Structure 1
Amino acid sequence: MSMNRRDFIKTSAATAAVAASTSVFTPKAEAKTGELAYEGEAGKWVGSTCQGCTSWCAVQGLVVDGKVVKMRGNPNSANGGRICPRPHLALQQVYDPDRVKQPMKRTNPKKGRGVDPQFVPISWDEAINTIADKIMDLVKTDETHKFCLFRGRYTHMNDILYGSFPKLIGSPNNISHSSICAEAEKFGRMYTRGYWGYADADLNNTEYFLAWGWDGVASNRQTPWFMKKLGELNKNGRMTVIDPRMSATAAKASRWLPIIPGTDSALAVAIAHVIMSEGLWNKGFVGNFADNKNYFVSGELVPETAGEENTPVVFNEIHTHGVVKWWNLEVFNRTPEWAEPITGISAEDIRKVAREFAAAGSKAISWVSPGACMQVRGAYGSFAGEALNGLVGSIESVGGMFDGSGAPSKGAAKVDGYQSEQIAAAAKRKKIDKRGTPQFAALNKKSGGGVVTQRVASSILEEDPYDLKLAMGYWNNFVFSINGADVWEKAMEKLPFYIHITPNFAEMTMYADIVLPTKLHMFERWGYTKGSQNMRGYLTMHQPMIKSHVDGRTDETEIPFMIAQALAKKGFTDPLRWMQDNFKDPVTGKTPETPEEFDLFAVKRATQPIWDGSSNSKGDTINSWEELLEKGVWTSKPYPIGKKIDNFKTATKKFEFYSETLKKVMEDHAEKNGITVDEAFEAANYTCRGELGYVAHYEPPVRHGDAATYPLIFAEHRSRLNREGRSQNTPWYYEMKDVDPGDEAFKDVTKLNPIDAKKYGLKDGDKIRITSVQGSIESEVKLWEGTRPGVVIKCYGQGHWAYGRVGSEVFGSKPRGGNNNEIHAYDYERLSGSTPRHGGVSRVKIEKI
């Protein structure tokens, strides 16, 4: 990154000058920015939602003279009115002078990195009619399945554009970004307790927190709430953080274990070995041997039969299933001494952590994050981490973990009756990402139940299972944000026609044929999201705080309605009929005639179970639409701890150490594909065979690149300033980058342990090239003891070559910093469909330049 502080200040000044020239703030509001005295009659706090991560926190913005000037947490929210830095950064996003201001079309047919699309402004009518014509071309040739919808950041109004619109025009292809986000994290919860989703926890009473690659004060899942509770947790209990980097959370923890990336499953089963062999498991939750003797002896199997009378060794399980099988199949010989050379964690530390964790019993939490499982063989890292919760009985317990709570809402109407035979048949064709095939199990709750986002690029290039002809994406930037960025670049070069709905030009936009500006979350649009934290579910609103200062439309409601109107004029009326029949104003019964009416009516309809008073017994009392907007959020009553014990959504209704649930899914998957289960594991690039695949176990990590040529392991982390990767055109991001331990303001540094730096003759500030089998990027060295020796660590988020005057050094060609996805190997975690962005999938070499 060549920009120094002086250059950056010049760029920031230029940005400020452009902002001033576009009259972002009125003089009255500008004069009051940064003051506190205007919090009264001069301004009004308006509730909305931050979508900087999937915490989806309720927030409030202070609106003065039609401009939002300040952010705070919503005092009515489940997290106690707390927020992190991300909502504040969003102020520079909404008033970013580089936002897409009106529809654009490409005039240069050539596509590629560094190629100028030669966009020119067009009207909304021309843009929408062009899209409608492209859809009609597919309808006429019976090729509607060759349309694909890419979903990026979304609200819970996504049922319309993502869930229903493709079906209404005859496509099976609604491709979510989910598998590049956290699907492998959900795998362990699904196949131990039948829950596919984000977990919640009773942090008020937790006494031990085992964090697997989770930087709770910085990155995702209840971030503001965890920031609040961390001090109490350190005072009343203990925390151990397992991470090759000393994160902000690790710096405040009782113990930091700098693990070798990709070996989390080995550490987890070694901890389990100590707990079981020393008799430390929770007898009240798991159960015990009938004679109260511990038969879990290190290195020995628990015999199926015992004594002269051939009587079995009986383990009376209470709320779990298969603990003895787990021991016999995996844990019996997974000693700390076995794990030490694999994980880089000493046997002594493994024993200490295991004993501390078990001593806290049901108030001990093993929290699995993407860092521990978004690896090529990471599903069993997730499984093993979750199994530890079962051993100590911290599932559905005070101080423990449980499923996320919900909030009432009304989903989109079914499309049945609004599809012709041709359209209905086309919508049932194979999906473009090849989910459910031998190589891409994407299990979720069934074979092919998940999504393999990354595979779409290969499908486009290989035209397998067919050739895509038309795609539309919103709030997504797959060219930048998925491993093997060059593969996506080639795929987007080949895709015949792409429509990008986006607030800012980005790498994905540079391959677009039509660009549609969208209103910004939190500030300019209607919508709602649902989440769970602090033992409560919540529904939090989006509402327009301000009038959009660009000519944008709401992505999930207004734009599909406009396309449906255009299609109806061309004789294809079903999508518009579906929207007008099913999304009337729930108060007046009025049929939506305009995009603005559809936008508002659809949100009112979806949130009606909250504002009509019918959910008052489940949480907050709200009795009108206006009251919901005023409060900004509805919060449920506290989660009733213990309600799912012996009623888990597993095959046995128990917490499963031996997963009968996974066994059934794998057998169905194998049968569907005409292969054996062992062949299915092999196709998914796992080493396990037979029953071992149904228990948490160690899988050797996959590394791309041989150790001789690429001697270092590459690992990455997230910044507390990354708004889902969308804050890199804000000057504040660079000014404050040193809030991330080991990082530097105004720079994009690569952290290297001084031991390794000495070996390679490197010092602070040296420019280096980092190369993997996938590609290379340039960076600057930062010597930092918070990096495990042998591991190169860099924050994800910078390296945009097309993201505005601040985010890119030269827009369209020269990046500011390096994009990690250019060196991450293009590979998969195939059981869940996830992209392996952690776990050291790539080995690298570094060269001074």
Structure 2
Amino acid sequence: MKLTRRVFIMATGISAGALMTGCAGMMAGPLHSSLIPRKAKPSSPAVGNWVASTCQGCTQWCAVQIFVQDGRATRVRGNPLSKTNHGYCCPRGHLIPQQMYDPDRIKTPMKRTNPLKGRGVDPKFVPISWDEALNTVADKMMELRKAGEPGKLMYMRGRYSSTSTELLYGTLPKVWGTGQYFSHSAICAEAEKMGPGLTQGFFGYRDYDLGNTNCLVAWGCDPLSSNRMVPNTMHHFPGIVKRGTVIAVDPRMSTIAAKAHEWLPINPGTDGALASAIAHVILTEGQWGKEFVGDFKDGKNLFVTGKLVDEAAFAEKETNGVVKWWNLELKDKTPAWAEKETLIPADQILRVARAMGKAGSKTTVWMGPGVAMTPRGTYAAMAVYALNGLLGSIDTEGGVWQSSSVPLGKFPSAEKYVDDVAKAGSKGKKLDGRGDKDMPAMMGGKPGSGVVTNNVANGLLKNPGAIKVFLSSWSNFNFSATGAGRWDKAMAQIPFFVHMVPNASEMTQFADIVLPSTFNSAEGWSIVSNMGNGYGYASIQQGAVKRLWDVKQEETEVMWLLAEKLKAKGFPNLFDYYSQEFKDPETGKLPTTAMEFSEIAAKISSATLWMPKEPLKGDAPIKGWAEFKAKGMFSGPKYTLKKGWGGKFGTVTKKFEFYSETLKKGLLEHAKKYETTTDDIMTVSGYVARGDLAFVPHYEPPKRHGSVADYPFTFIDHKSRLNREGRSANVTWYQEFKKVDPGDVSWGDVVKMNPSDGARLGLKDGDSVKITSMAGTIGCQLKLWEGVRPGTVAKCFGQGHW
């Protein structure tokens, strides 16, 4: 008998069964009879239902459908109605069942029994009831109220939905009375938003017309693997490769770099230098977008290397300050100069710039976090994004678009439930240091308006008594934040910490109470809005499956139950707001349970889509809540081109600003607050620019931690295409298919190093190594790989938990 792999596996299974059942089992029939191939019977269609929901594997929040059989999720696919993912989901979507049914999920509330806290200290958790857990939390909160210290409550969120923005992140601090609430945003993507924000006045994620793009520049991101809109990029990518040019700027050979026409393995942190050199070439060779930017009045190109240009000679159209930008930054930034900084050959820089110039307004410079998530990253983001403006690809066919949206319903106002104690407690200095002299934090162009997530740990260490009760959901700053050791120290001194998460993590080890969260893609209710491929959309998350464990949705159910406990202990405001203001838009009924409250909140958010006051543009009308649950989503109309043209951009000048009056206004306002100059602000904030250079996109040399002699390598991290917001490393498919990420291996944790560096150090593949910086040390295996530039080592984010 031919022993195939399948037959061998069957035989080993039968042998094991025979051993367990004894000789009687063997006597039931000859072993080989069980292995004789039989004609397969026609299989009947799977019995189950496709239930609409939303993936939260990344910030795209794709509309999906989950196949549910007997209350269990068995398959996932993209929602066929989606105009963004085209009915598909990326590998992260297919991991939903594995992550939801992860046996290591937290299954019941727990409390700490070991008073000691610290890295590696066993909390000695014991299971408790929800009643005991929430009573304990409410008691601790009420102690603050009675002491007149409501502001010593802090809430921080990791992943969240739009429901959380109002009901947890928005309402809880406001009604309770604390100003200490912080999002994870600044360790996610806030830095890259400064690029379009301080040039275009759009502080948000961009959309891209990939169906008409002729030159795609993936800069500091890999939209085939991570970043946003992966299914949409995969859908359009073959067409772009066939008709145009794909350029990847990344120190590591990412998936898109492996398939690009040009890979520029840039010296990390020098993105601004490369962008300036490309802009220099585009201007000197006359390839800028004249319809958008304008032209010289006499038609003669005066952009000549090393020569200043008279501003009066140029007539701008939709932009502001292109000549100032040239005179202050670009005139000497040749490819030869950039080669010394970026380590990219000058001839390749020239070739790439010309390809971009040739494609013109149908060039999409897709900028990702890799550009900006470093010290001084704001100017790198501005420099890279400004190339879109220079080529005239803003709001054009084949170019870069602002985001689209659909109208969602607003939750009732909570103003009348905010008492005087809450108003007083909400005031005061925030722990993240936003608005400090050395921390302008100018999201929206306004000083002190942006969150500085990682600085919260520094604030806690400077002022140990500032927070007595800390609530956090879907977070793990002790692992995911740069210099995470500071979080270990800060968390160890928090008197009372409540962690609301589906899985235990490093941060959970510091918790006094652990509350198990639902896996919201299939166990909770919410409405999520997003955009992609030119369409804004809203999609539903609903309780598609039977919950296996005693979990509750932190954004709605936990808030309802906690508010109920607070009311019983003398603080009715939060519960009265939830129970008296949230009316079912269909029936007018008020919620009486946590589950009813959760669904009514979702109905209020989405009622504008299925019972609109006026007909909506976009998809066919949805008739009622039941139909919306079944369809799962609604898409608005196609993006309108040139929406910012004609003086409609959100900047100070209402134009695309190469000379950023928006940035200038903010920095001047910040300097005035401290009775100083913008040069002084730049100095204390760690930037090198002085004078007007601070108001244009420019190259700021990378700030290194530690000397090159002691720390000769540059370390970069990157995301896996299997990484579901940092919580998927525990699932088997993540480990089994890890090799789909270029350079990585399955069931292993490796750091990638160029073979030339390995040879110089006498290292070989598979060696156990330690990576040490001023922040600490981690250990893993070495992978020698040509896909990372010499002098740089790369490691995938998500592995290496302690």
Mark yes or no: TM-score above 0.5: yes
Q: Indicate the residue corresponding to 2:22 in structure 1.
A: none
Partner of 2:192: 185
Within the candidate set 87, 98, 102, 2:104 is matched to 98
User: 1:406 and 1:59 mapped to 2: Cα distance?
Assistant: 18
Matched with 1:604 is: 603
Matched ranges for 1:445-844 at <5 A: 445=444, 446-463=446-463, 467-614=466-613, 616-620=615-619, 621-645=621-645, 646-801=647-802
Residue in 2 that maps onto 1:280:
287
Give the residue type in structure 2 aligned to 1:60: Q
Match of 1:637, SS? strand
| Preserved contact between residue 212 and residue 371 of structure 1 (Cα < 8 Å) | yes
Distance 1:266 1:412 in 2: 46
Kindly state the Cα deviation for residue 412 of structure 1 after the two structures are TM-superposed: 3.0
**Superposition TM-score, scaled by structure 2 size:** 0.93
Q: Structure 2: how far apart are the matches of 1:39 and 1:691?
A: 68
Letter in 2 for 1:248: T
Shift in alpha-carbon separation, 1:512–1:237, aligned structure 2, 3 A:
same
Q: How big is the shift at 1:39? A: 4.9
CA positional deviation for 1:103? 0.8
The 5 Å alignment of 1:46-61 reads 46-61=51-66
1:609–1:615 CA contact under 8 A, matched in 2: no
Partner of 2:92: 86
Residue from 175, 179, 184 that aligns with 1:172: 179
Computing the radius of gyration over CA atoms, which structure comes out larger, 1 or 2?
2
C-alpha deviations, 1:602-661, integer Å up to 9, x for none? 111111101114474222221211111111111111101112212011111111111111
Q: Secondary structure at the match of 2:331?
A: helix
Counterpart among 49, 62, 67 of residue 62 in structure 1: 67
Deviation at 1:138, TM superposition (A): 0.8
Aligned residue in 2 for 1:827: none
- Aligned counterparts of 2:523 and 2:713: Cα–Cα separation in 1: 46
Instruction: Give SS of 1:204's match.
Output: helix
Within the candidate set 136, 158, 162, 1:152 is matched to 158
The residue number in structure 2 matching 1:141 is 147
**For the residues of structure 2 that align with 1:248 and 1:777, how far apart are their CA atoms?**
26
Distance in 2, matches of 1:685 and 1:116, equals: 40
Report the alpha carbon displacement of residue 70 of structure 1 after superposing the two structures with TM. Answer: 0.7
Cα offsets for 1:805-843 (capped at 9, x unmatched): xxxxxxxxxxxxxxxxxxxxxxxxxxxxxxxxxxxxxxx
Cα contact 2:447–2:670 (8 A) shared by 1: yes
Question: Secondary structure in 1 aligned to 2:550?
Answer: coil
Q: Which amino acid aligns with 1:602?
A: A
Offset at residue 580 of structure 1 (A): 2.1
Counterparts of 1:570 and 1:259, CA distance in 2: 59
- After superposition, the C-alpha distances for 1:110-163 in whole angstroms (9 at most, x for unaligned) are 011221111111111111111111111111112111111111111110110011
- The yes-or-no answer on 1:129 pairing with 2:135 is yes
Note if contact 2:112-2:511 (Cα within 8 Å) is conserved in structure 1: yes
Rounded Cα–Cα distance in structure 1 between residues aligned with 2:437 and 2:727? 35
On the 8 A contact 1:743/1:749 being kept in 2, the answer is yes
User: In 2, are the aligned partners of 1:616 and 1:622 still within 8 Å (CA)?
Assistant: no
Deviation string for 1:171-197 (max 9, x for gaps)?
A: 012210001100011001111111111
Match of 1:201 in 2: 208
Q: Which residue of structure 2 lines up, in the alignment, with residue 262 of structure 1?
A: 269
Which stretch shifts more, 317-326 or 404-413? 404-413
Query: Secondary structure of 1:598's match?
Result: helix
Match of 1:113 in 2: 119
Does the 8 Å contact 1:613/1:624 carry over to 2?
no
Amino acid at match of 2:260: A
CA contact (8 A) 2:191 2:377 kept: yes
Give the corresponding residue for 2:231. Answer: 224
SS in 1 for 2:527: strand
Quote how far apart the aligned CAs of 1:674 are: 3.0
Q: Within 2, Cα distance between the matches of 1:602 and 1:458?
A: 36
Tell me the amino acid that sits aligned with residue 264 of structure 1: D
The one-letter amino acid of 2:458's match is S
Give the secondary structure class of the aligned counterpart of 1:545: coil
Secondary structure of 1:272's partner? helix
Q: In structure 1, what is the Cα distance between the partners aligned to 2:674 and 2:528?
A: 37
In the alignment, the residues of structure 2 paired with residue 584 and residue 96 of structure 1 have an alpha-carbon distance, to the nearest angstrom, of: 36
Cα pair 1:269 1:331 within 8 Å, conserved: yes
Q: 1:830 maps to which residue? A: none
**Secondary structure at the residue paired with 2:67?**
strand
Match for residue 406 of structure 1?
Answer: 405
Where does the alignment leave 5 or more consecutive residues of structure 2 unmatched? 1-8, 14-40
Q: Does structure 2 retain, via aligned residues, the 8 Å contact 1:501–1:516? A: yes
- Aligned-partner residue type, residue 215 of structure 2: Y
Identity %: 50
Distance apart, 1:300 and its partner CA: 1.1
1:692, CA displacement in angstroms?
0.8
Contact 2:411 2:604 in 1 (8 A): no
What one-letter code is carried by the residue in structure 1 that aligns with 2:232? Answer: W
Letter of the 1:771 partner, please give it.
Answer: T
Q: 1-side partners of 2:743 and 2:644: how far apart?
A: 42
Q: Tell me the distance in 1 between the aligned counterparts of 2:111 and 2:72.
A: 30
Q: For residue 322 of structure 1, what is the amino acid of its counterpart?
A: G
Task: Using the TM superposition, name which of 228-237 and 413-422 deviates more.
Answer: 413-422
Specify the SS of the correspondent of 1:360.
helix
Give the 3 Å change call, closer, same or farther, for CA 37–244 of structure 1 in structure 2: farther
Q: Does 1:246 align with 2:246?
A: no
How big is each residue's C-alpha offset from its partner over 1:472-495, in whole Å with a ceiling of 9 and x where there is no partner?
000101111101121111111011
**3-state SS in 1 of match to 2:169:** helix
Q: Deviations over 1:479-534 (max 9, x none)?
A: 11101121111111011110000111111111000000111021111112111111
Amino acid at match of 1:505: A
* Contact 2:105–2:503 (CA under 8 A) maintained in structure 1: yes
Aligned residue identity for 1:81: G
Q: Which runs of 5+ in 1 are unaligned?
A: 1-8, 14-34, 305-312, 802-849
Task: Determine the structure 2 residue equivalent to 1:822.
Answer: none
1:8-45 residue CA offsets vs partner (Å, 9 max, x unmatched): x9xxx9xxxxxxxxxxxxxxxxxxxxx995655x1110
Q: Distance in 2 between matches of 1:341 and 1:413?
A: 58
- Deviation string for 1:307-341 (max 9, x for gaps)? xxxxxx42110111110111111111111111101
Kindly provide the CA deviation profile for residues 60-90 of structure 1, in whole angstroms up to 9, marking residues without a partner as x.
Answer: 1111111111111110112211211111112
Cα-Cα RMSD: 1.5
Partner amino acid, structure 2, of 1:560: M
Q: Is the 8 A contact 2:179 2:426 kept in 1?
A: yes
C-alpha separation between the residues in 2 aligned to 1:143 and 1:51?
A: 36
CA contact 1:585–1:591 (8 Å) conserved in 2: yes
Q: Secondary structure at the match of 2:637?
A: coil
- Give the aligned residue type for 2:749: D
**Counterpart position of 1:329:** 328
Code of the residue aligned with 1:77 in structure 2: it is S
Asked if the contact 1:613/1:622 (under 8 Å) is kept, the reply is no
Cα offset, 1:451, TM superposition? 0.5
Distance in 1 between residues matched to 2:420 and 2:559, nearest whole Å: 22
Summarize deviations over 1:92-115 as a string: whole Å, max 9, x none. Answer: 111111111111110100011221
Runs of 4+ aligned residues of structure 1 deviating over 4 Å after TM superposition are 35-40
Letter in 1 for 2:280: H
Supply the distance in 1 between the matched residues of 2:676 and 2:149 (Cα, whole angstroms): 31
Give the TM-score normalised by structure 1. 0.88
